[in-house]
Amino acid sequence: MVRMTAHAYALADGNTIPAIGLGTYGLNDQSGVDAIASAIHDGYRLIDTAYNYGNEEVVAEAIRRADVDRSDLFVTTKLPGRHHGVDETLASFEQSRKRLDLDWVDLYLIHWPNPKRDRYVDSWRSMIKLKERGVVRSIGVSNFTPAMLDRLSAETGLMPVVNQVELHPYFPQAELRAYHAEHAIRTESWSPLAKRTELLAEPVIVEIAERHGSTPAQVVLAWHLALGAVPIPKSADAERRRENLDVFDLELEAGEVEAISGLERGRIWGADPDTHEEM
Ligand X SMILES: O=C(O)C(=O)[C@@H](O)C(O)C(=O)CO
Ligand Y SMILES: NC(=O)C1=CN([C@@H]2O[C@H](COP(=O)(O)OP(=O)(O)OC[C@H]3O[C@@H](n4cnc5c(N)ncnc54)[C@H](OP(=O)(O)O)[C@@H]3O)[C@@H](O)[C@H]2O)C=CC1
| Binding-site residue ranges | 111
How many residues of this chain interact with ligand X, rule: CB under 6 A? 5
Q: Which is nearer to ligand X, 256 or 278 (CB)?
A: 278
> Could you tell me how far CA 189 lies from the centroid of its own chain?
5
Locate all alpha helices (DSSP H) within 112-164, ordered by sequence: 120-133, 146-156
Q: Which of 8, 39, 50, 148 binds ligand X (CB under 6 A)?
A: 50
Q: Which is nearer to ligand Y, 179 or 231 (CB)?
A: 231
Query: HSE of 31 in the Cβ direction (CA atoms, 13 Å)?
Result: 8
CB 48 to ligand X: min, Å: 9
CB 26 to ligand X: min, Å: 8
The verdict on 188 binding ligand X (CB under 6 A) reads: no
CB 177 to ligand Y: min, Å: 16
Query: HSE of 60 in the Cβ direction (CA atoms, 13 Å)?
Result: 17
Partner from ligand X, ligand Y, none binding residue 52, C-beta < 5-8 Å depending on class: ligand X
Partner from ligand X, ligand Y, none binding residue 139, C-beta < 5-8 Å depending on class: none
Task: Report the C-alpha dihedral over residues 30, 41, 19, 230, rounded to 10 degrees.
Answer: -20
Locate all alpha helices (DSSP H) within 78-186, ordered by sequence: 86-100, 120-133, 146-156, 174-182
Partner from ligand X, ligand Y, none binding residue 196, C-beta < 5-8 Å depending on class: ligand Y
Strand partners, 77: 108
What is the set of active-site residues? 53
The verdict on 278 binding ligand X (CB under 6 A) reads: yes
CA distance 13 to 4: 15
The verdict on 115 binding ligand X (CB under 6 A) reads: no
